[in-house]
Structure 1
Amino acid sequence: MTLVIWADGRLVEQGQGALSAVDHGITVGDGVFETCTVFGGQVFALTRHLARLERSALGLGLEAPDAQRVRDGVVAVMDAAVAEAGPFDGRLRITVTAGTGPLGSGRVPGAQTVVVAAQDGAMAPTSRSARSPWPRNERSAVAGLKTTSYAENVVALADAVAKGGDESILPNTVGQLCEGTGSNVFVERGGELVTPPLSSGCLAGITRALLLEWGAEEGLAVREAEPDELPFDVLDEVTLGEAQLVLTSSGRNVQPVTWLDGAEVPVGKISSVARELFEERCRQHLDP
């Protein structure tokens, strides 16, 4: 599997030292990131991802990343990766940290660290998911931001994997359906495909937004839920086969769930149409 890494202006080998041991992104997870899908050696929805990268940085109290510096890293990585692997499918990750800092939580103003990496790989067509025993805090200071402080997600995902899944579905603190560790969720019920509102604490996913936009353009019954419309126990309807579940993310596109908490579950008709629509549109519109 090809892996190409660019760190602060230079290409580095996997395992080669690239960051300071006191980079605040390492010591306290003080940074933000984006993961983009790569189709045929081209980065999908880069403009939207860079806009969200800036929103996350500002929300974390960091300066807006230097967009040209980030784009230079993307070009360097993609040129090297395509030269090595050809026009590949996979993913590209952009990470921006607060740069070098003290060993505590306090920041020292200085140059940010930028790392870009690309790797080839295929998306799974379906997901096996499990409910998380831990909630997402919708009132957190970093709710809705894509930060490198990812320990909660790592633990929740490990729990799902131990149960036989590949994603963990989280409630929020008031018992509403929220999101996966690295995905947004849609529930198909009552002839509609409905996703939790951003007020639930979920990330404003790029794939989520595009499915809402493209679905509306095609007359698909897909929308954002009302604040109290999707309680976490709506997943009981999924395991009973009365509703269906879909995950969306840059690593999954639109991915139906076929197994939830040990039960095989069917794929909904609207879910299948939504998946086909996204697969078609995303390759026609590389920077929507």
Structure 2
Amino acid sequence: MKTVAGARGAPGRHDAGGRSEAAVTGTSIRVWVDGELVEPLGPAVSALDHAVTVGDGVFETAKIVDGEPFALTRHHRRLEHSAAGLGLPAPDLAFVDKGVAAVLEGEPIAFGRLRYSVTGGVGPLGSDRHEASLTTIVLAAPQARPPASGRLTVVPWTRNERSAVVGLKTTSYAENVVALARAKQVGAIEAVFANTRGELCECTGSNVFVVVDGVVLTPPADSGLLPGITRGLVIEWGRAAGVDVREQALPLDVLTTADEVFITSTTKDVLPIDSVDDHDLPAERPVTTALQEIFRSNAERDSDP
């Protein structure tokens, strides 16, 4: 394992529920770094790692159900795409798989999150790179299942559909952290971004769909969104089941005129939306309910579609 530098969780810090920071962030997380299982709150990555200094890395998050990751092959393919887009060497997926096996060994995680990252490795303090020596990190932890439904809020910031990293899942997530914090402040489960053209784009970690006159609509990839694995499966499986699902540019205000709204993500699957800011949506959502069942039944048949 690489020489490591870092700080352990500070003592005495608690969340709103009174639990220590260590209990919230560390003790239940299984951590593997460059070939070794390590202590969750111990130092494990160099302070010079380029992901730490400039956010130079890519990652994937997969759902864990009964100890098994879901759609891992699709996540691997997107990791490769993201790494290529950043100009990183191709990740060693066999090495990643060793880390996945290590963190999933033992007591099965009934429901949780698998996260694996590949970074630019030790590098300079600026944005230039040395010859890449990749760092590979794999994490697994249980988490609460998602709620039955939720609320969205539209934030004033935009996605840049012409960004150099559009469509890549990078470790540079600061704007998502800010936007999601805003959503939590107002009691929303997710924050919605428009793009610079004023079109509906995506949420911080979810894709968004609307239903208009029985047709399911979602923004296309050229809106600037990150094409989610669950998003792609909902489109594929929905169409195969006879649901009219279309990718097209949408105005932001479609969120307040649509018959139904739902979001999709790795750990939320298909999650109905009750309201968008002050606009309440109908309690009856037959298309969303149908897609939930379509997704559930297909996922139960094949854990790596």
Q: Give TM-score scaled by structure 2 length.
A: 0.88
Q: Secondary structure at the match of 1:259?
A: strand
What residue is the counterpart of 1:60 in the other structure?
Answer: 86
**CA drift at 1:128:** 1.6
CA deviation profile, 1:196-236 (whole Å, cap 9, x unmatched): 000101111110110111111111122212xx4x1111122
What residue is the counterpart of 1:141 in the other structure?
Answer: 164
What residue is the counterpart of 1:285 in the other structure?
Answer: 302
What residue is the counterpart of 2:286 in the other structure?
Answer: 269
Superposition map of 1:107-126 within 5 A: 107-121=129-143, 122-126=145-149
CA deviation profile, 1:121-141 (whole Å, cap 9, x unmatched): 222221221001101000000
Output the amino acid matched with 1:235. L
**CA drift at 1:19:** 0.1
Output the amino acid matched with 2:94. Q
**CA drift at 1:120:** 0.9
Asked if 1:95 is matched to 2:107, the reply is no
**CA drift at 1:251:** 1.9
What residue is the counterpart of 2:58 in the other structure?
Answer: 32
Q: Give TM-score scaled by structure 1 length.
A: 0.93
> Which of 254, 265, 288 is matched with 1:249 structurally?
265
1-structure distance, mates of 2:44, 2:28: 18
Q: Secondary structure at the match of 1:220?
A: coil
User: Contact 1:39/1:283 (CA < 8 Å) preserved in 2?
Assistant: no
Asked if 1:130 is matched to 2:147, the reply is no
**CA drift at 1:193:** 1.0
Output the amino acid matched with 1:58. A
**CA drift at 1:109:** 1.0
Asked if 1:77 is matched to 2:100, the reply is no
**CA drift at 1:172:** 0.3
**CA drift at 1:244:** 1.6
Cα RMSD, aligned residues only: 1.3
Output the amino acid matched with 1:248. T
What residue is the counterpart of 1:151 in the other structure?
Answer: 174
> Which of 193, 199, 202 is matched with 1:176 structurally?
199
Give ranges in structure 2 of 5+ residues lacking alignment. Answer: 1-26
User: Contact 2:109/2:141 (CA < 8 Å) preserved in 1?
Assistant: no
Aligned residues between the structures: 277
Q: Larger relative CO (CA 8 A, sep 6+): 1 or 2?
A: 1
What residue is the counterpart of 2:244 in the other structure?
Answer: 221
CA deviation profile, 1:113-170 (whole Å, cap 9, x unmatched): 0100011122222122100110100000001110000011111111111121120011
CA deviation profile, 1:17-62 (whole Å, cap 9, x unmatched): 1000010001110000000011111010000000000000000111
User: Contact 2:46/2:122 (CA < 8 Å) preserved in 1?
Assistant: yes
> Which of 204, 209, 214 is matched with 1:191 structurally?
214
Give ranges in structure 1 of 5+ residues lacking alignment. Answer: none
Q: After TM superposition, what 4+ stretches of structure 1 lie above 6 angstroms from structure 2?
A: none
**CA drift at 1:265:** 2.1
2-structure distance, mates of 1:87, 1:78: 8
Q: Secondary structure at the match of 1:134?
A: strand
